[in-house]
């Protein structure tokens, strides 16, 4: 016990002589805040990326894939899946530095992060936020614009019956004007059997399937939303669609 007394005496001597000093409280607070901030940001990133993965899967143009026009349909879903896994992995890494992380098995942490981010991503998708995020990326991030540019180019091919662009002038429901991404203006006309999967609105982007009917004019057989997943009335025609043509 005498030796034990020596230990405590040595320790107290070192403390009283200032040889050992307390690590300041802010150091621990800063570390904790940094870890939880990093963790939260990684999880937010993973949720957003998951919602964009789901959105891009929901917007695969299966009709084009089946016809062999769309060979790189998997690119964007995989692009976002990669980022969701990357952010998820960063979230897991940050979590391992938290105080209680050791109480959970690695597989438990991974499954919880995957499950929670997938569920939150689904909620974000159905709330419409993933769609807004996608549009925001397309509008504001140049590399992302390049990434999706080939899709738009594929849709400006009137000879093969595909045209897409922004509605610039709506004369009536049967006739309107459209500007494609190459800045060409088109006069669009519809007919009795045209399928309206979306109602043309000034300023909105749409896609058309039909035939060229002269210089700068196009006869539409189908009017489709810019992204297939954003259309709630898929499969309706002019008689069943709630956006009926006015006669």
Residue (12 or 168) nearer to another protein, CB: 12
Binders of another protein in range 99-118 (CB under 8 A): 99, 102-105, 108
Using rule CB under 8 A, residue 17 touches another protein? no
In the complex with another protein, the residue whose CB is nearer, 18 or 68, is 18
User: Residue 89 is encoded by which pair of tokens?
Assistant: 């992995």
Contact call for residue 2 and another protein (CB under 8 A): no
CA 76 → CA 43, 58, 70, 202, distances in Å?
Answer: 20, 11, 12, 28
**Does position 168 bind another protein by CB under 8 A?**
no
18 interacts with another protein by CB under 8 A = no
Among residues 55, 52, 56, 86, the alpha carbon closest in space to that of 72 is found at 56
Closest by Cα among 189, 160, 191, 166 to 179: 166
Q: Residue 245, Cβ neighbours under 10 Å: how many?
A: 17
The residue count for binding another protein (CB under 8 A) is 26
- Binders in 80-99 for another protein, by CB under 8 A: 99
- Nearest one of 217, 195, 222 to 207, comparing CA atoms: 222
List of residues contacting another protein (CB under 8 A): 1, 3-4, 6-8, 10-12, 14-16, 20-25, 27-28, 99, 102-105, 108
């Amino acid at each position: 016990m005498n030796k034990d007394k020596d230990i405590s005496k040595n320790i107290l001597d070192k403390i009283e002589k200032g040889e050992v000093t307390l690590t300041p409280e802010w150091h621990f607070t800063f570390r904790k805040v940094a870890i939880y901030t990093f963790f939260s940001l990684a999880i937010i990133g993973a949720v957003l990326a998951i919602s964009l993965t789901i959105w891009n899967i929901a917007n695969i143009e299966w009709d084009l894939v089946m016809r062999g026009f769309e060979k790189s349909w998997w690119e964007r879903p995989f692009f976002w899946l990669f980022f969701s896994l990357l952010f998820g992995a960063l979230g897991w890494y940050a979590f391992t530095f938290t105080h209680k992380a050791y109480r959970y098995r690695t597989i438990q942490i991974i499954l919880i992060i995957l499950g929670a981010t997938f569920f939150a991503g689904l909620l974000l998708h159905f709330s419409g936020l993933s769609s807004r995020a996608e549009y925001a990326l397309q509008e504001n991030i140049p590399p992302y614009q390049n990434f999706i540019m080939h899709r738009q180019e594929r849709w400006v091919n009137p000879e093969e019956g595909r045209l897409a662009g922004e509605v610039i002038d709506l004369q009536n429901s049967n006739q309107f004007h459209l500007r494609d991404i190459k800045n060409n203006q088109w006069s669009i006309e519809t007919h009795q059997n045209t399928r309206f999967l979306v109602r043309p609105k000034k300023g909105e982007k749409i896609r058309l399937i039909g035939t060229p009917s002269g210089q700068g004019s196009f006869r539409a057989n189908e009017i489709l939303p810019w992204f297939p997943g954003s259309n709630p009335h898929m499969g309706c025609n002019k008689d069943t669609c709630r956006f009926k043509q006015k006669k």
